[in-house]
Structure 1
Amino acid sequence: MYTHVPKCTPSQKPSAPTDRDNSGSGAGSMADEPPYIEAFGHKYHHSGRIFVPFDEKEQQRMEVQHKLYRQCLNGALTATRIPLNVKNILDLGSGTGLWPLEMAARYPQANILGIDISRIQKTTAVPPNVKFAIDNVENPWPISAGSIDFLHIRGLAGGVTDWPSLFKQAYEKLKPGGLLEWSEQAIQIFDFDGKFGDAELCPEFLKLWRDLGKENNIDFTPSPNGPVWLVEAGFENIAQRTEILPLGNWAQDESLRNRQTLMNSISNEHFENHCGLLFTNCGWTKEKFDEVAPTFFSDIRAESQKPYTML
C-alpha cells in the first residue's frame, strides 16, 4: 500500500468536481455493456486493453478482495487518515462500487465519484453523495484540476498501460495538500521459510505470466516502481506499507488465518479470472493452459511449503 501527499502549490485554485456521469446515481446491468471479448469462459471489455474481466465471477472476486483489504486495515476503509471535513473523494477502478458506498456512510458530507470502465456498480441504495462514471481511468477524468481532497486507487493492475501518466493526472486533480492512496497486490508468491522473500515459489509459471504481460504491455505487479513514478509526478512524503497474505494452511495468528481464508478463496475459485485474455492474446488455448496450471497449484499446496504473497 502507498499513501502520498502531493506538493503544496498555492497557485492552484481548487474548484468543485464536475460530473461527466454516464450512469446517473447508479449503473445499469451487464446487459447494457457493449460487445465483449470472451476468453477462458470470462467476459472482458471489448477494447481488449483491460486484462481483468467484468463478469459475475469476477464481481464475486472483487467482493472477496474488498473483505481482504478491510481485514488488512483492521476494519478500516483506508490506511490514510482522512480529515473529517473531507469534501471531494475520487475512486479509480470502483468495480462493483463497494468502497465508495461504504465511504459514503462514513463521510456523508463528502461528494464521492467512482470511475470504472465497466457498468457493474450496484444500483440499489446508492446514497445521493455517490456517483459513478463509466470510462477508462487512463482517459481524462471528468473533474476539475485542483478539486480532489482524497484520491483512492486500488487493484488497477491489469487495466493500466501508462502508470506515470495516471499519477501525473492524479497530481493535477488533487488539491494542494491533497492525499492519494494506492494499493496493489503483487503477482509474486514466496515461501515463508524465515528468509522472507528470498525463495519465490512457482518461479516458472510466474515468469511466464510476467513475460506474457510484457508482450501485452501490461504489468500485473507495478508497485515496485511506484515510488519513482510518484516522485516524478510531484508527490511528496511517500510512505509504503506492506502486508503478508498467506495461502495454504500454515498461518497461526488469527488475523493471518482470516487473510489466508480469503486468499485461498481467491486463488482456488478465481485464479483464471486474470489469465484468460492475457494467455489467449499470446496464442494459448484453454487446453494448453490447463496443462500448466495444475503444477502451479501443486507447488503452493504442498504441505512442506508456507506460501504467501504481499499487498
Structure 2
Amino acid sequence: MGGRLTNQQPFDEDDDTDTSYGDDASSSTASLSASIFEYRTIHGRTYHSDKNTNAEYWTPNDDRMANAEDIIHHCITLAQDGKLFQAPLKPDIQRVLDVGTGSGIWAIDFADQFPTASVIGTDLSPSQPTWVPPNLKFEIDDATKDWTYPENHFDYIHMRYLFGSIGDWPALLKQAYRSCKPGGYVESFEASCVFQSDDGSLKPGSPMDEWGKVFVEAGRRFGRPFDVVGDGIVEKAFEEAGFEGMTVWDSKCPIGPWPVDKKAKEIGTYALMSIDSDLEGWILYIWTAVMGWSKEEVTVYVAHLRKQLRDRRVHAYVKYRAIYARKPE
C-alpha cells in the first residue's frame, strides 16, 4: 500500500523541520440532562461527566483534544489510502453504529459518504457538533455496559481508538456480535501505545521509550489495557465472539516527517501534529491519577518528550491495526 513504511523505511536527511443527539433509550443510554454537561475539571482540563456512568475515560473532552482527534482522523484516512474503513461494505448499507465516536468526525464523514444509511455515533461525552448530516445522530452511551440495541440490527459496527478504555474486550465484541446482522461486519481500528524504530534511533530510556512503558504499566493498574495491538487482544476477542473471515490490516505510522516517501512523510507530519498539539492532554490523567506523578513532573517530562518528538534523527513509528470480520449468516 502506497505510503506505508517498510521494515527499513528511508529517512529524509535534509528535512530539518524542527449534534444532534438521539433520544434516551434505556439503562445504558443516558438522557441529555444537565448532568451530562457537568464535566469534571482535572488540572485545568475537562473530562466527561461521571453522573450517569462509572466509566473512567482518560483523555479530556475539550476543544483542544477534539482538534487532536480530528488530526488523527486525517492521518488514519491517509494511511488507508483515503478510505474510512477496510470491510467490504455494500453501497446500500442501511444501519451503522460508530462506538466511541469522540469528536464525531468519522461518523460525519461516513454519513456524508453513505447518505441513505442511518448512522449512530456513541460516546461518553456530548462533545460532537450539532450541525451534522441528516442521516446521523449522536447518543451518550457507555459501550462497556449492556447494549440496548436490538439483536441482528446493524449492517456495520465501527470502533476506533478504544485502547485504555475497555476492560473486557471479549464482552464488547460479543455485544457487537449480538447487535450485528447476520452477514454484517464489525471493524476495529487501534494504534499501539509504544513508539518503535527499526534502525535503533529510538534509544532505550529516552522520553519516547518511557511513554510506551508508562502506558503499558498504567493499563495493568487501570484494568484497561493500552497495548491492544501488541498483545493481540482484539483478534482474540473477535474469535471468541464467533465472527468468521477475520481480516487484519497492519501499517506503520511514522512520527514526524522523517521518511523519504512523500505519502509517508505527510502521514508522519500529521501524526506528529496530533500528538504535539496536546501532549499534556494525552498523558495528564493517566500519569497523575493512575501513575501518581505530580503535575510538575508531567510538565518537565512533556518538555523533554516534545524535544525528542521533533528530533528528525529519531525515526520512530507506531503500529496501526484494523481488524474486520463477518457475522455468519
Q: TM-score range by the shorter chain?
A: 0.7 to 0.9
Distance 1:249 1:75, change over 3 A: closer
8 Å contact 2:91–2:114 — kept in the other structure? Answer: yes
For the residue of structure 2 that corresponds to 1:191, the secondary structure is coil
Q: Which amino acid aligns with 1:74?
A: D
Other-structure match for 1:117: 124
Establish whether residue 236 from structure 1 lines up as the match of residue 239 from structure 2. no
Structure 1: any 5+ residue segments left out of the alignment?
Answer: 1-18, 24-28
Per-residue CA deviation, residues 158-198 of structure 1 (Å, 9 max, x unaligned), is 32222111101001011111101100111111113299x99
Structure 2: gaps spanning 5 or more residues: 1-20, 26-31, 321-329
Name the CA distance, whole Å, in 2 between partners of 1:200 and 1:165. Answer: 36
**Letter aligned with residue 242 of structure 2:** G
Q: CA deviation at 1:212?
A: 2.1
How many angstroms does 1:39 deviate by? 2.9
In structure 2, do the counterparts of structure 1 residues 276 and 200 end up closer, same or farther at CA, with 3 Å as the change threshold?
Answer: closer
Between the aligned partners of 2:209 and 2:226, the Cα distance in structure 1 is: 15
Q: Distance in 1 between matches of 2:308 and 2:106?
A: 34
TM-score of the pair, normalised by structure 1: 0.83
Match of residue 293 from structure 1? 302
Q: Secondary structure at the match of 1:190?
A: coil
Match of 1:46 in 2: 49
Say if 2:267 is the partner of 1:267: no
Contact 1:190/1:199, CA 8 A, preserved across alignment? no
Q: Secondary structure at the match of 2:277?
A: helix
TM-aligned CA distance change 1:275 to 1:39, over 3 Å: farther
Partner of 1:65: 72
Q: 1:81 to 1:198 in 2, by over 3 A?
A: farther
**Number of matched residues?**
287
Q: What percentage of aligned pairs have identical amino acids?
A: 27
> Does the 8 Å contact 2:284/2:298 carry over to 1?
no
CA offset at residue 228 of structure 1?
Answer: 1.0
Q: Distance in 2 between matches of 1:171 and 1:74?
A: 28
Residues 1-311 of structure 1 aligned to structure 2 (within 5 Å)? 21-22=23-24, 33-47=36-50, 49-124=56-131, 126-193=132-199, 202-223=208-229, 224-282=232-290, 283-311=292-320
Structure 1: which amino acid aligns with 2:48?
Answer: H
- Any idea what SS the aligned residue of 1:230 has? helix
Secondary structure class of the residue paired with 2:78: helix
Cα distance per residue 1:180-234 (max 9 Å; x no partner) = 1100111111113299x99897333421222122212122222321111110111
What is the rounded CA distance, in whole Å, between the counterparts of 2:294 and 2:200 in structure 1? 38
- In the alignment, is the contact (CA less than 8 A) between 1:213 and 1:278 conserved in 2? no
Cα distance in 2 between the residues matched to 1:290 and 1:71:
32
Q: Distance in 1 between matches of 2:22 and 2:171?
A: 20
Q: 1:204 to 1:132 in 2, by over 3 A?
A: closer
Letter in 2 for 1:93: G
Query: What displacement does 1:274 show?
Result: 2.4
Is the Cα contact below 8 Å between 2:22 and 2:137 reproduced in 1? no
* TM-fit CA distance, 1:54: 0.6
Contact 1:184–1:221 (8 Å) recurs in 2? no
What SS does the corresponding residue of 1:137 show, helix, strand or coil? coil
RMSD: 2.8
Q: Match of 2:111, SS?
A: helix
Task: Give distance in 2, aligned partners of 1:32 and 1:64.
Answer: 29
Return the alpha-carbon distance in structure 1 between the equivalents of residues 135 and 311 of structure 2.
Answer: 48
> How much has 1:304 moved relative to structure 2?
3.4
Give the Cα–Cα distance (whole angstroms) in 2 for the partners of residues 66 and 120 of structure 1: 16
Paired residue secondary structure (2:250): coil
In structure 2, relative to structure 1, the CA distance for the partners of 1:199 and 1:87 (3 Å cut) is: farther
Kindly provide the amino acid, as one letter, of the partner of residue 145 in structure 1: E
Alpha-carbon distance in 1 for matches of 2:112, 2:286: 37
Q: CA distance change for structure 1 residues 106 and 34 in 2, over 3 Å: closer, same or farther? A: closer
Counterpart secondary structure, 1:206 = helix
The alpha carbon displacement at 1:58 in A equals 0.8
Structure 1: how far apart are the matches of 2:118 and 2:67? 26
> What is the identity, as a one-letter code, of the residue corresponding to 1:35?
E
